[in-house]
């Protein structure tokens, strides 16, 4: 809420910048436990935003303010923490490292102009982090690497730097090497002494560090020269010329901003080692919003508009990158302004299109912005405006959802939503009491509006309310937020909608005759039922001759049969892929009616089912799994155990990865998102798409019909 204080020191007033060139938007990326949130706390403290750093284990950090994050001791949502350093506003965007919250990470990448990859000095580099690195590389996003947690008992910074080079590529080189109580600068050849904390003192390096420093420095200089636009540098270097430091630093900064060179900085957040170097690197080497390619825009009708520029005087174009609900101020929308200037007490146009499959209906609404805030975690500090390139928070903009475009009412714009992963773990929820149903519905609407990785499905066949989540941790957070909003909910096993069909032909008579002393009911129909190939649906054939059933009642027979098909015959599942032929029947001149022949048709189908054999059909999905080659055998074996049929395996476009295509019954995929992550150490991903219905094995029929 506005004016809130954190538990780790008073928060000062926010600063609004006027020039996009003085803004740096940096997203922190890395696995859970790598030290991103702790690094953010240390940088905020070093910049004077906080009087003392908070603790993840104590739940007192600025970024992990969500109750679920405090309970799990890991980030579960994106959080922004701005600081001022040497006249530049740095918006640190802390993102979760756990795979279940990849939607928050994608939002952070959208809001940022550069990425700071944080890896633990004792853990190596996992496949998920490499995948994000490749994603950033595909769009040319500048990246740097922080080797954090140098104080870990198993820390080995130089081995970790080597692991980063192997995982991320040859363009990754250290600018500094860790030394006792500080860092050795490879370009400046100076020692940065943190024995008294931040800021460091500068001195001569220890003679014991000279050999490794010289070797690493030569490699760094060669890497910088390889990326330099000055083609004479290499010749001068090979000729033995001692290149000017300013020239090297200038070329280094240009290469980082282009996204072709990636410096590595060792950091220890608890002792302060490396904090000054990280801040200086962000300020000098990372690009401002003026250098960042902006999203394409159209008008709400899809007509292309002029390309955006990070111009404070240009047309207003901003995007909601995250939506949250604060218990004090209601809905809070985190916004990245790409063009123009967002000002309070002004009308805006909120537009959201293209997310209807996730439960976000297309909408175009004019709203009024009352106040603008600079967010510091959960703390909202009011600012007079927000210029192009900066981040801000808006409150009480009721129609705004994550991914929406905010623009001027007289110049409405629409940005294409960023790509979001498909949620693949279904969780069926049910309100404990009727009074909880309304509360649950309201809370679900807010959750879906704020989380594009959450999909809400009301299954008309199984009569279940299903939340599609990214994984167990994501589901736990969603359920906790539901309950904290006052809805008492339970979960139940997810049901898979089956189908029924006839295994062979059958004949039957439907007789509905009732005489009770007044206007009676009389209808008789004879039918033949035959199975059809999968996917054929239902066919009705009229072969009545001689007027055995009057023409006006033949559609009534079909209507009754269709109604019974929907109700099912054996287990209440819809009946599909059959042909019903009406061959004979009887009618009464007085007692026959539309209702009587509908009932007779229904009875005839049920009699045919009793005479024939009903088979259950289960949905089969086409599954595509992308995974590292080392897990190929394990995953193939698991697919076979799920009654899957492997269609093929091929090499992926990324070296060391393969793609499996298989057909798997949907009943075997309910928990596959969890199981695949376990089998592949979190490195595999999959997609699924409905293919067809196949007969359910006879040995499983009993378990599916109880």
Rounding to the nearest 10 degrees, give the CA dihedral for residues 569, 572, 578, 581. 40
CB environment 370-401: b (16+ within 10 A), e (fewer): ebbbbbbbbbbbebebbbbbbbbbbbebebbb
Residue 56: CATH number of its domain? 3.40.50.300
Whether residues 263 and 370 fall in one domain? no
Whether residues 649 and 552 fall in one domain? no
Tens of pLDDT along 276-295?
999 999 999 999 999 988 88
Q: Note the pLDDT of residue 293.
A: 86
Tens of pLDDT along 370-391?
999 999 998 999 999 999 999 9
d(CA 628, CA 631): 6
Whether residues 281 and 301 fall in one domain? no
Q: Does residue 166 belong to any structural domain of this protein?
A: yes
d(CA 35, CA 243): 36
pLDDT band (50, 70, 90) for residue 10: low
pLDDT higher than 50, residue 158? yes
Tens of pLDDT along 620-679?
999 999 999 999 999 999 999 999 999 999 999 888 899 999 999 999 999 999 999 999
Q: Does residue 435 belong to any structural domain of this protein?
A: yes
Residue span of the structural domain in which 138 resides: 20-205+256-285
pLDDT band (50, 70, 90) for residue 494: very high
Residue 444: CATH number of its domain? 3.30.70.870
Whether residues 185 and 51 fall in one domain? yes
Q: Note the pLDDT of residue 617.
A: 94
Residue 312: CATH number of its domain? 2.40.30.10
User: Of all residues in the chain, what percent are helix, strand and coil, respectively (each to 5)?
Assistant: 30, 30, 40
Tell which of 490, 525, 540 closes a domain: 490
The lowest-confidence range among 354-358, 498-502, 524-528, 568-572 is: 354-358
Whether residues 537 and 551 fall in one domain? yes
The lowest-confidence range among 511-515, 617-621, 666-670 is: 511-515
Q: Does residue 541 belong to any structural domain of this protein?
A: yes
Tell which of 612, 633, 650 closes a domain: 612
Q: Note the pLDDT of residue 98.
A: 87
What would the mean pLDDT of 343-364 be, rounded to a whole number?
83
Residue 587: CATH number of its domain? 3.30.230.10
Q: Note the pLDDT of residue 239.
A: 81
Torsions phi, psi for 667 (to 5 deg)? -65, -20
Whether residues 129 and 268 fall in one domain? yes
What would the mean pLDDT of 10-35 be, rounded to a whole number?
88
Q: Does residue 678 belong to any structural domain of this protein?
A: yes
Whether residues 102 and 55 fall in one domain? yes
The lowest-confidence range among 7-11, 333-337, 650-654 is: 7-11
Whether residues 511 and 559 fall in one domain? yes
Average pLDDT score over the chain: 90
Whether residues 147 and 128 fall in one domain? yes
Q: Does residue 223 belong to any structural domain of this protein?
A: no
d(CA 354, CA 435): 33
Q: Note the pLDDT of residue 128.
A: 83
pLDDT above 70 as % of the chain: 96
pTM of structure: 0.87
* Strand, coil or helix: 668: helix
pLDDT higher than 90, residue 80? yes
Whether residues 277 and 131 fall in one domain? yes
Torsions phi, psi for 564 (to 5 deg)? -70, -35
- Domains held by the chain: number: 5
pLDDT higher than 60, residue 356? yes
pLDDT higher than 60, residue 9? no
E strands of 402-498, at which residues? 405-407, 414-415, 425-431, 455-459, 464-469, 489-492
Q: Does residue 290 belong to any structural domain of this protein?
A: no
Q: Does residue 251 belong to any structural domain of this protein?
A: no
* Strand, coil or helix: 599: helix
d(CA 407, CA 177): 47
Q: Note the pLDDT of residue 12.
A: 60
Q: Does residue 229 belong to any structural domain of this protein?
A: no
Question: If we measure between CA atoms, which residue out of 254, 243, 245, 220 comes closest to residue 235?
Answer: 243
Whether residues 547 and 668 fall in one domain? no
Q: In what order do the strands lie in the sheet with 176-179?
A: 176-179, 182-185, 191-193, 201-203
Tell which of 470, 490, 510 closes a domain: 490
Whether residues 33 and 149 fall in one domain? yes
């Amino acid at each position: 809420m506005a004016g809130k204080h954190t538990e780790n020191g008073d928060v000062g007033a926010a600063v609004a910048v006027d020039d996009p060139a003085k803004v740096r938007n940096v997203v922190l990326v890395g696995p859970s436990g790598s030290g991103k949130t702790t690094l953010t706390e240390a940088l905020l403290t070093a910049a004077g935003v906080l009087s003392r750093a908070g603790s993840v284990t104590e739940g007192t950090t600025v970024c992990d303010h969500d109750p679920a994050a405090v309970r799990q001791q890991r980030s579960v949502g994106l959080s922004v923490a701005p600081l001022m350093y040497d006249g530049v506003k740095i918006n640190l965007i802390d993102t979760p490292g756990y795979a279940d919250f990849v939607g928050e990470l994608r939002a952070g990448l959208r809001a940022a102009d550069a990425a700071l990859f944080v890896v633990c000095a004792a853990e190596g580099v996992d496949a998920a982090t490499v995948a994000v690195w490749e994603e950033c590389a595909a769009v040319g996003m500048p990246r740097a690497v922080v080797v954090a947690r140098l104080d870990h008992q198993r820390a080995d910074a130089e081995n970790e730097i080597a692991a980063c080079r192997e995982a991320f590529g040859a363009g990754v080189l250290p600018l500094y090497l860790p030394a006792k109580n500080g860092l050795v600068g490879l370009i400046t050849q100076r020692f940065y002494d943190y024995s008294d904390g931040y800021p460091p003192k500068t001195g001569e390096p220890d003679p014991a560090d000279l050999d490794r420093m010289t070797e690493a420095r030569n490699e760094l200089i060669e890497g910088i020269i390889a990326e330099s636009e000055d083609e004479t540098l290499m010749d001068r270097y090979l000729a033995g010329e001692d290149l000017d430091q300013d020239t090297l630093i200038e070329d280094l900064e240009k290469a980082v901003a282009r996204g072709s060179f990636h410096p590595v900085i060792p950091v220890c957040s608890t002792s302060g080692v490396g904090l000054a170097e990280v801040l200086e690197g962000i300020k000098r080497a990372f690009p401002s919003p003026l250098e960042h390619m902006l999203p394409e825009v159209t008008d709400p009708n899809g007509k292309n508009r002029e390309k955006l520029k990070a111009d404070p005087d240009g047309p207003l174009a901003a995007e909601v990158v995250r939506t949250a609900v604060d218990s004090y101020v209601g809905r809070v929308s985190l916004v990245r302004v790409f063009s123009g200037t967002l000002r309070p007490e002004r009308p805006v146009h909120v537009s959201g299109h293209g997310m209807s499959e996730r439960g976000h209906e297309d909408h175009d609404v004019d709203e009024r912005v009352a106040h603008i805030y600079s967010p510091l975690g959960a703390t909202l500090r009011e600012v007079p405006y927000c210029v192009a390139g900066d981040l801000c928070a808006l409150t009480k903009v009721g129609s705004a959802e994550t991914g929406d475009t905010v623009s001027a009412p007289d110049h409405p714009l629409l940005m294409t939503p960023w790509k979001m992963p498909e949620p693949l773990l279904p969780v069926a929820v049910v309100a404990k009491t009727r009074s909880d149903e309304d509360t649950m519905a309201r809370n679900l609407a807010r959750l879906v509006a704020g989380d594009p990785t959450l999909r809400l499905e009301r299954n008309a066949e199984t009569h279940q309310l299903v939340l599609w989540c990214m994984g167990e941790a994501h589901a736990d957070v969603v359920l906790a937020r539901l309950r904290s909003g006052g809805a008492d909910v339970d979960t139940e096993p997810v049901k898979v909608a089956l189908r029924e069909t006839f295994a062979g032909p059958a004949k039957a008579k439907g007789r509905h005759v009732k005489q009770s002393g007044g206007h009676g009911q009389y209808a008789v129909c004879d039918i033949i039922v035959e199975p059809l190939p999968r996917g054929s649906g239902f066919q009705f054939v009229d072969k009545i001759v001689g007027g055995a059933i009057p023409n006006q009642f033949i559609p009534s027979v079909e209507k009754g049969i269709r109604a019974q098909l929907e109700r099912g015959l054996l287990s209440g599942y819809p009946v599909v892929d059959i042909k019903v032929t009406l061959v004979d029947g009887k009618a009464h001149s007085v007692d026959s009616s539309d209702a009587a022949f509908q009932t007779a048709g229904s009875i005839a189908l049920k009699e045919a089912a009793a005479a024939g054999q009903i088979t259950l059909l289960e949905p089969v999905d086409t599954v595509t799994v992308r995974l590292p080659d080392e897990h190929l055998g394990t995953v193939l074996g698991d697919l076979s155990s799920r009654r899957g049929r492997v269609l093929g395996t091929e090499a992926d476009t990324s070296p060391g990865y393969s793609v499996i295509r298989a057909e798997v019954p949907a009943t075997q995929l309910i928990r596959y998102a969890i199981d695949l992550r376990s089998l592949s150490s979190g490195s595999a991903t999959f997609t699924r798409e409905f293919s067809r219905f196949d007969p359910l094995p006879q040995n499983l029929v009993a378990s599916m019909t109880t």
